[in-house]
Amino acid sequence: MNTTENQDAVAKYLRALDRELRNVPQARREAVVADLAEHIDEARERGRSDAQIIASLGPVEAIAADVQLDFADGAAEVERRSKLRVLGLVALAAGVLAAVVDTWIYPSSNIDEFWPDWLLSSSINYDVNTRWGAGLMLVFLLPGIMVAAGSLVKSGAARIYCTAAALIVTALPFVIGFNLGIFFLPLIVAAWMIAGISHRRQEPALGRKFLAQRIVAGLVAGAPAAALFAGLVTGTVGTGVLGVTVMVVLGLAAAGAMMGLRAAYWVLTACGALLLVTAVFDMGMLVLGLWVAGTIYFFVGLAGLLRPAPKG
């Protein structure tokens, strides 16, 4: 085989590798092909023939498979870190909200009488918030800061730290009482989501893996809509514009969630956030229901938004 034929064989080999890497971004693909061409040139300088070099490199399919695997692992890690940053911000916001409610809003609303006797009651003296409010808020802020910090930990201890943080915040309602601890519910959910992602090295495969999630999201959104519809039909709920609007929005969100539409998950997340804010400014007898419902809607929607997008 002459030099020209050797060069043609090498060029053909590199073109075949480029085709095998067609699903890898262009910059990464060009870098791999250029590195391999440089490796071939160095082998030539050591006196090896092109045929020997190509034989030692092996099939282009094997090289491409290794490159694609490395790229997929890197992309999955980038996506995982991005999700942790989002959940870290959510945890921090949830921690701040709980601290504000427990330190200032809840003590001043005198709604402790609405809580059943069998629920644990906080031993904190509500009167101290007038003298030590800033200090109490700092204490209530610590759980949120602790959970949010877990989203930034990159070492091998991240799994242990995030799990420990989730366990600690989950124990808060049992320690400080459910009448204060219930407001840490969004933080608790965020903490366990962070812990789950910190333990997950790779995203699960798309498709049927997410069918259960879509069904749950649809049922969560559809149940209140179905209840409102039943109330409208039976006349137990007024036919006001607000009730009909909520029913239609939640019904559409339920259908969209089951179909995996991101817009539907945005609606669920927004509805959850709205319910949580409403609970803060309307600390009445329904505060527990609003808070729990808001938490469910928000995180069901957020889970759908954080789900890997299907590859086209």
Residues 138-156: tens digit of each pLDDT: 778 889 999 998 888 776 6
Say whether 119 sits in a helix, a strand or coil.
coil
The answer to whether the predicted template modeling score (pTM) of the entire model surpasses 0.85 is no
Residue 304 above 80 pLDDT? yes
For residues 103-126, average pLDDT: 48
Phi-psi region of 47 (alpha: psi -120 to 50; beta: other; left: phi over 0): left
Residue 121 above 60 pLDDT? no
Which pLDDT score, from 0 to 100, does residue 56 have?
80
Most confident of 1-10, 94-103, 193-202, 264-273: 264-273
- In 3D space, the residue among 219, 221, 217 whose CA is nearest the CA of residue 306 turns out to be 217
pLDDT above 70: percentage of residues in the chain: 73
Which pLDDT score, from 0 to 100, does residue 168 have?
93
Residues 88-111 as b or e (16 or more Cβ within 10 Å = b): bebbbbbbbbbbbbbbbbbbeeee
Residue 165 in contact with residue 139, Cβ under 8 Å?
no
Report the range of poorest mean pLDDT among 193-202, 234-243, 278-287, 289-298.
234-243
> What are the tens digits of pLDDT across the range 43-58?
788 878 777 777 787 7
Phi-psi region of 119 (alpha: psi -120 to 50; beta: other; left: phi over 0): beta
> What are the tens digits of pLDDT across the range 244-295?
777 778 788 888 888 888 888 998 899 888 888 887 776 665 677 778 888 8
Phi, psi of 27 (to 5 degrees): -60, -45
For residues 292-301, average pLDDT: 87
Residue 307 in contact with residue 213, Cβ under 8 Å?
yes
pLDDT band at 208 (very low <50, low <70, confident <90, very high): low
> What are the tens digits of pLDDT across the range 11-21?
787 888 788 77
Which pLDDT score, from 0 to 100, does residue 308 have?
65
Distances in Å between the Cα of 118 and the Cα atoms of 27, 51, 123, 209, 290 are 63, 82, 15, 40, 21
